[in-house]
Chains A and B, each alone.
Chain A
Amino acid sequence: MRRRIWQALAVAVFLLVLSRTAVQRDLQASAFQEKIEQCLEAGELPVVVLSQESGEYESLGKSALWAAEYAAEQVNKNGGVNGCKVRIVSENTGSDNSKALSLYQGASRAAFAVLGPIDAPETTYIAQNVERNETVHIAAYSYAESRQLMAPYGISYMSDSEEGELEEVRVWAQQNPDIKNIVLYTMSQDESKENTTELFQNTLADLGLNILKIVDVKPEAGEQDYSYYAIQGLNEDADGYVFLIRGRECANILVKLRQHGVEEGRRISISFSAYGSELFEIAGDQLDGVSIWNKFDPFYKGTQWQQLLKAYEKNIGNTGSVVQVANPVADYYDAVQAICKCYEQFGVTSDNYGEFIGNADVAQWFYNSQMLSGIQSDFRWQEGQKITDYQFFVFEGEMPVNRNDK
């Protein structure tokens, strides 16, 4: 009898916690919805952003939110859209999947387009769990599977990294025709890198490249691990080394390779995901001749970009090195500009905003867009995938130089 009472009590507590969480989530969703509605009531056009100001993606999330706010500021400086000022209405997901979902559901009731999250796990969770979606969702739809699940509403805010990685290796191989046998450094715990590795295994032979060995690098590796990874590369009769890994791991292994016989930097190709301060700080003096690619050009001379760089440096407290601009900055700037362009083309104002919720024409406008003007160059969306130019660099000393500029 007593046991049954305890069991019933435990179930009751569990249900209470569950219902409390559900109520809490619903309250968050409603509050976010109200925030958007208040913006419209104030006669402003909302650009709804699911931001990551805390949690695992905090550093990237803050930069992305800043870029969105900066873009809105630029639009407003030019008089806004259709006579309305544009306002970024954001809410922090805390890099938490379930919170991101409830906020997204709240936003969907009041907005016809939502920007973010920046990361694949949160985006995939929303795509898999949202009950009914008629909201244009510009987020990290880098996986075709998620995109198809949300089509035609799921739109990728950034260009596909797998294709970029392949393009970099193709360009690198073309520039170095003597490189035939390579060692590939990857990180199987990163799903994106795992997919890229599979793509390379299937396609590099067509480029005349033979993968001698795939070295699987663990995140949070130590000094001895870096030596071990380097030795694995040195043990092969390789002409070149391709890195699909992050900055710190890539820099440490690269330094050891260079110290142990890999004298020519041109034999090394690095992924965009290593493009950052750690690579330059750890391996700066070993990068001469090394190839690297990125989704944007930090040295782009365009006025808008240069203004953005200055503002970014001022607001984020950068050290002044242009190469440290976070990756989603350019993409979020472009996404906000695209949303504003949509408002302009469809004549959206704060009064008629609600009429565009679930509008199929608007969804198609994003999903298969005409050419749009970006912060660095034009881009378009095709079947929700962002199509843009990739930027390829070769280090001259410690500075990456865009191949197109050479």
Chain B
Amino acid sequence: MMFGLWLGFMGLAGAMALLFWMVLHFSVENKYQEQTENDLRMAAQSIWDMYGEADFETNIALLAKSNDYFVQIVSEHPIQVMVSVNNQGEKAAPQQDDIADETLFERLNDSDGICQYYVDDQVHASRWAVQAVVLANVNGSRQVLVVSRSQANVDALMKLLTSRYLLVTVTVLVLASILSIWLAEYFARPFRHLNKSAQQMAEGNYETEFIREGPVEARQLAETLELAEQEFNKTEALRRDFVANVSHDMRTPLTVIRMYAEMLEAFSGEIPEKREEHVRMILNETDRLTNLISDTLDLAKLQSGTMEMNPSVFAIEDVAEEVLSSVCANKPEFQFKLDCPESMQVCADRKLIYRVIYNFASNAVKFSGKKQEARIVIRKYQGSVRVEVIDYGIGIEKDKLPYIWNRFYQAKPNDREKCGMGVGLNIASEILRLHHAPFGADSTPNEGTCFWFMLEAYENET
């Protein structure tokens, strides 16, 4: 990553330098060249227009001096210089022989009578920009006007600019290289550390530290990974508790069953009263074990989404009554009342809704405290049927309420007898979600809890 970043930064710096060079070369140099050519063209035009005037040569000298160009007029047959003026406006021999030699006429033959070209400046290691135009044709012999200007000044300027440019380019590239190494390190280091920590976490070390450093995105990634690690930690703890709970909850009834079975074998088989009591205990524990396995299976089905719904129309108060009978069967002293002023029909999976009310009611019995009393209240509410299971027990702290629907969550983890595996409310919530039914819990510590849910009321249209 670091090399890639460095390469990218250097590529950018190189591209910028290239762009700058292109601007310098093509724009500045071409601009100067274009300017020179335009000047020569205009000069040639002016002289061409003056041809034939009495003071023609004097005017040429003035123009040459004021505009810094050399002027020659060359005849074709024979090739000879008729007029030659230097850039001081003085009559002088042409600055170079090849400015206007026989190749001039060859160039004109391939043109419309006007041509522009460059000749090497042998003295200044530069070039002469030349504009040639046919000035007159006298008896088939062309007279050609040649206007030229040295490019030495322009070339010197371009050389200076180029040398400065090279210096600046090297400096920029060196600075860019240093800067790019620092930037690449700045960006790459946090990701390197995060990668290393993530590898440790993948190996099972959930205490790995994710260092928050570098750019914002790297710091945010570190925070996210840390949160993920915390979640992993919690899940792992829940998993461990679940295994422990399931082990305990399954071992307890098995131990009891074994104990009563041994007692049956050893001595109570002969005593009808004892035998009946021991057989009943074995059966109760077997039911408890069956329920435990059933809960675990249901939970697995709900989680995997393979739980099938069998909706039917039924009276919700009937289901509530069945639940009460079942829950209170072993606790005749518990005052569990049903408050339902009228019969209310719903369309849902009867078996699953029974399970929900049963789980809520079981909880109410477990956590009712000393006040052995609870209520199921069923009312119509805005076209729905609202079922509330209310106890007056120990209640749940407000900060724990959001978590009671989580799998394996136990509000009182030390109270093993009451808490069980922590799946009852989770199962109830999954069933209600399956029915798209709103549900919730309101609680005040030491005053009691109200579990509620709502099902759409079924109205028989006929």
Contacts and interface: CB of A to CB of B under 8 A. Distances in A.
Contacts of B133: 231
A202 interface: no
A234 B108 contact: no
A224 to B, nearest CB: 7
Contacts of B114: 228, 231
B113 A235 contact: yes
24 contacts: A224-B45, A227-B45, A228-B114, A231-B48, A231-B114, A232-B113, A233-B137, A234-B113, A234-B136, A235-B109, A235-B111, A235-B113, A235-B142, A237-B140, A238-B137, A259-B52, A260-B48, A260-B51, A260-B52, A260-B136, A260-B137, A261-B139, A261-B143, A262-B137
From B111, B113, B140, B143, name the one whose CB has the most chain A CB atoms within 10 angstroms: B113
Interface string A299-331: 000000000000000000000000000000000
Given A227-B49, A234-B142, A260 B135 contact: yes
Contacts of A224: 45
B134 interface: yes
B138 interface: yes
The 10 A-B residue pairs with the shortest CB-CB distance in the complex, in nearest-first order: A235-B113, A261-B136, A231-B113, A260-B136, A234-B137, A261-B138, A261-B137, A234-B134, A235-B134, A232-B112
A235 B136 contact: no
Given A235-B112, A239-B140, A261-B137, 8 more contacts: A224-B45, A235-B109, A236-B137, A237-B137, A260-B135, A261-B138, A261-B139, A261-B143
Interface residues of B, number: 21
Interface of B: 45, 48-49, 51-52, 108-109, 111-114, 133-140, 142-143
B45 A235 contact: no
Nearest to A227: B48
Contacts, number: 49
A132 B407 CA distance: 100
A288 B137 CA distance: 19
A39 to B, nearest CB: 58
Contacts of A227: 45, 48-49
A234 B140 CA distance: 9
A110 to B, nearest CB: 56
Nearest to B76: A237
A294 B122 CA distance: 59
Contacts of B112: 228, 231-232, 235
Nearest to A239: B140
A42 to B, nearest CB: 63
A239 B138 CA distance: 11
Interface string A196-236: 00000000000000000000000000001001100111111
B59 to A, nearest CB: 15
Contacts of B109: 235
Contacts of A232: 112-113
A245 to B, nearest CB: 17
B379 to A, nearest CB: 53
A237 B105 CA distance: 12
Nearest to B52: A259
Contacts of A237: 137, 140
Contact of B108 (A233, A235, A260): A235
Nearest to B48: A227
**Which of A232, A234, A239, A262 has the largest count of B CB atoms less than 10 A from its CB?**
A234
Contacts of A261: 136-139, 143
A260 B140 CA distance: 12
B43 to A, nearest CB: 14
